[in-house]
Structure 1
Amino acid sequence: MLDATEHIAMYTAFSELLPLLAAGTTPLLKVKQICQAINTSSLTIENSTTLSGPFGSFSFSASAAFEVRTPTRIQVEFKEGTLQPPEIKSSIDLPENVDIFGLKISLSPMQQFLNPLQEAVASLARAISGQPPIKLPIPGGRTKSWLLITYLDKDFRISRGDGGLFVLAKEGSPLLDM
């Protein structure tokens, strides 16, 4: 999207993302990035999420069209979801230790059991490489929403929607380095 402004989520109180954020606190699955790209030329929005784990990462997104209602409010209608083919790592990437309920557990012994899977993982990566994304319609009554921009500057955006509060920083902003 050439005219899109991409923002990275720094905080959200959107209830539908809370299970995803909770899963990202597990030792082996992390939320790598949650983004929102707004394209003012085509009047479209793309919300995307990338998760990563020891075997690879996968991304999914939802695209929407929007209509400007006031200078600070837009009406949004979600059109479809997209599941990107997973990016399989050429080797299994386990951390040395994981912290579970305050107890540090070494994963080094598991590495020797996973070593035989290395070739299978590499073979899977070759098979999946280049596959097209899967497009899915957005079901039910959750296709329409609204977004109210309550603060906007060159690096920072705070928005409220019918699903919650969103605090985002523009990609490349020094705010993301904090």
Structure 2
Amino acid sequence: MCITAFDAVSGPRYTAFSELLPLLAIGTSPFLKVKEIRQAIDTSSLTITNSTTLSSPFATLSFSASATFEVRSPSRIQVTFKEGTFQPPQIKSSVDLPENVNVFGQQINISPVQQSLGPLQDAVASIGRVISGQPPLKVPIPGDRTSSWLLTTYLDEDIRISRGDGGLFVLVKEGSPLLAQ
């Protein structure tokens, strides 16, 4: 197995990583969706970037964690996280609420709320103009959680299954026909 086969990955399709589970649970709410979770491995610079994009009716939020890695064997790497980056929110030009929301198994029609959002949309647009163009917020990752390891247990042209001290990860490569399923 060789880690270089997965330079960019969309995923995870499955994870047992406890710190990611709350994020995935948030994505089941009607007003906040996980748009993308991705891992990019750059073998030339020995860096990894884990990134997440969330989408709400008002804005798209993106954040990432960057790390360096050291190859310990053909299937194992040692990872050291360096910093987290929070991109300025991308404010949407209009509020995009669903017509109905499922609350505890009951469909609630919220289209009347959509019709009364004119003043709120103006405020959101004003905020968007203020924060657009702001630089991302970069935060060093401190403490003993910066070091981790990752062991690739299965790898083909579409899937990578890895285990680490944080859990189990099943990732599908960007562009794979498996993503269309």
TM-score bracket, normalised by the shorter chain, equals: over 0.9
Counterpart CA distance in 2 for 1:56 and 1:171 is 24
TM-score (norm 2): 0.94
Structure 2 counterpart of 1:5:
7
SS at match of 1:20: helix
For residues 118 and 109 of structure 2, the distance between their equivalents in structure 1, rounded to whole angstroms, comes to 16
- Partner of residue 70, structure 1: 73
Which letter does structure 2 place at the counterpart of 1:172?
G
Q: CA RMSD in A?
A: 1.3
Q: CA deviation at 1:158?
A: 0.8
Most deviating of 98-107 and 63-72: 98-107
Matching residue of 1:161: 164
Question: What is residue 61 of structure 2 aligned with on the other side?
Answer: 58
- 2:160 equivalent to 1:144: no
Distance of 1:161 and 1:143 partners within structure 2: 13
Distance 2:7 2:98 in 1: 34
User: What letter is aligned with 2:77?
Assistant: I
Instruction: Choose the corresponding residue for 1:42, options 38, 41, 45.
Output: 45
TM-score of the pair, normalised by structure 1:
0.95
User: Which amino acid in 1 is paired with 2:115?
Assistant: Q
User: What is the letter of the counterpart of residue 21 of structure 1?
Assistant: L
C-alpha distance in 2, partners of 1:107/1:120? 20
Local SS of the residue matching 1:41: coil
Taking the aligned partners of 1:46 and 1:59, their CA distance within structure 2 comes to 12
> Could you list the runs of 5+ residues in structure 2 that have no partner in the other structure?
1-5
Bigger shift: 100-109 or 142-151?
100-109
Q: Which moved more, 1:80-89 or 1:21-30?
A: 21-30
Task: Give yes or no for the alignment of 1:107 onto 2:129.
Answer: no
| Secondary structure in 1 matching 2:130 | helix
| CA deviation profile, 1:45-67 (whole Å, cap 9, x unmatched) | 00000111000110100000000
Q: Work out the number of aligned pairs and report it.
A: 176
Q: Identify the residue that residue 29 of structure 2 maps to in structure 1.
A: 26
Shift of 1:113: 2.8
| Runs of 4 or more above 6 Å deviation | none
Identity level (%): 73
Q: Hey, what does 1:117 align to over in structure 2?
A: 120
Q: 1:139: how far off?
A: 2.2
User: For the residues of structure 1 that align with 2:142 and 2:110, how far apart are their CA atoms?
Assistant: 40
Supply the distance in 2 between the matched residues of 1:115 and 1:105 (Cα, whole angstroms): 21
Where structure 1 has 5 or more consecutive residues not aligned to the other structure, the ranges are none
CA shift digits 1:114-161 (9 cap, x unpaired): 221111111222222111100001122100000001111111111111
